């Protein structure tokens, strides 16, 4: 598509940046995220205080905390996943799961421009509260997707 003259062209190679609500923690994604979706598991509900969270995925080495490393707290939210958050304001930042050791999921609402990504599925849809608006045109999975990277074909639960 031809660029209109005089209009700034967005550099698609520019790294996405984001951070927590108070500004203490800042991060940079050194490559474009490649997988984005809703999670409605009970942990995401409690962490967000809402009906679910949107995460977007990059390779672990492409996620860089560029400010406030000392303010990044972490906790094991399940026996297979660890979450990070800002110790100052409580904003959720990431989740890292055992079955995807080389990847990390970023809480998409913490991006400086959340429009840079768009969810393409709902997981743990069976746990979503009835008042959670679901995107009708997206595939919904009761738990994890049957083709989840790092799990056996068809495996949708992690013990
Ligand atoms: Zn903060
Ligand atoms: Zn979840």
Torsion of CA 19, 20, 24, 29, to 10 degrees: -20
**How remote is the CA of residue 85 from the centroid of ligand 1, in Å?**
8
**How remote is the CA of residue 99 from the centroid of ligand 2, in Å?**
15
pLDDT at 1: 46
Residues in Cβ contact with 118 at an 8 Å cutoff, skipping those fewer than 6 apart:
36
DSSP labels, 47-96: HHTSS-EEEEEEEGGGEEEEE-GGGEEEEESSSSEEEEEETTT--EEEEE
Q: Is the pLDDT of residue 35 over 90?
A: yes
Arithmetic mean of pLDDT, 5-12: 57
Banded model confidence at residue 5, pLDDT cuts 50, 70, 90: low
pLDDT at 130: 97
**The domain containing residue 107 runs over which residues?**
16-35+52-116
Report which of 92, 100, 12 is spatially closest to residue 58, judged by C-alpha positions: 100
Q: Is the pLDDT of residue 102 over 90?
A: yes
Inter-CA distances, 111 with 102, 107, 126, 128, Å: 21, 8, 27, 23
**How remote is the CA of residue 38 from the centroid of ligand 2, in Å?**
8
Q: Is residue 142 part of a domain?
A: no
Pick the ligand that lies closest to the CA of residue 90.
Answer: 1
- pLDDT per position as a tens digit, 126-157: 999 999 999 999 999 998 888 888 988 888 98
Q: What tokens does 154 get?
A: 């068809």
Q: Is residue 46 part of a domain?
A: no
Q: Is residue 71 part of a domain?
A: yes
- CATH number, domain containing residue 75: 2.170.150.70
Dist CA 78 CA 42 (whole Å): 11
**Does the model's pTM come out above 0.85?**
yes
Q: Is residue 4 part of a domain?
A: no
pLDDT at 158: 85
Q: Is residue 9 part of a domain?
A: no
Pick the ligand that lies closest to the CA of residue 123.
Answer: 2
Count of structural domains within the chain: 1
**How remote is the CA of residue 90 from the centroid of ligand 2, in Å?**
17
**How remote is the CA of residue 65 from the centroid of ligand 1, in Å?**
13
Dist CA 96 CA 32 (whole Å): 18
Dist CA 4 CA 126 (whole Å): 46
**How remote is the CA of residue 42 from the centroid of ligand 1, in Å?**
23
**How remote is the CA of residue 5 from the centroid of ligand 1, in Å?**
40
**How remote is the CA of residue 136 from the centroid of ligand 2, in Å?**
19
């Amino acid at each position: 598509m031809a660029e209109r003259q005089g209009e700034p062209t967005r550099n698609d190679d520019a790294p996405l940046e984001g951070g927590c609500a108070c500004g203490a923690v800042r991060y940079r994604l050194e490559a474009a995220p490649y997988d984005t979706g809703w999670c409605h598991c009970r942990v995401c509900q409690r962490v967000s205080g809402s009906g679910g969270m949107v995460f977007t995925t990059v390779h672990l080495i492409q996620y860089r905390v560029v400010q406030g490393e000392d303010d990044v707290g972490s906790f094991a939210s399940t026996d297979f996943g660890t979450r990070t958050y800002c110790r100052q304001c409580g904003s959720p930042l990431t989740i890292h799961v055992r079955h995807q050791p080389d990847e990390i999921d970023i809480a998409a609402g913490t991006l400086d421009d959340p429009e840079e990504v768009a969810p393409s599925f709902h997981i743990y849809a069976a746990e979503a509260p009835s008042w959670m608006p679901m995107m009708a045109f997206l595939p919904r999975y009761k738990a994890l997707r049957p083709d989840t990277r790092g799990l056996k074909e068809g495996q949708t639960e992690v013990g």
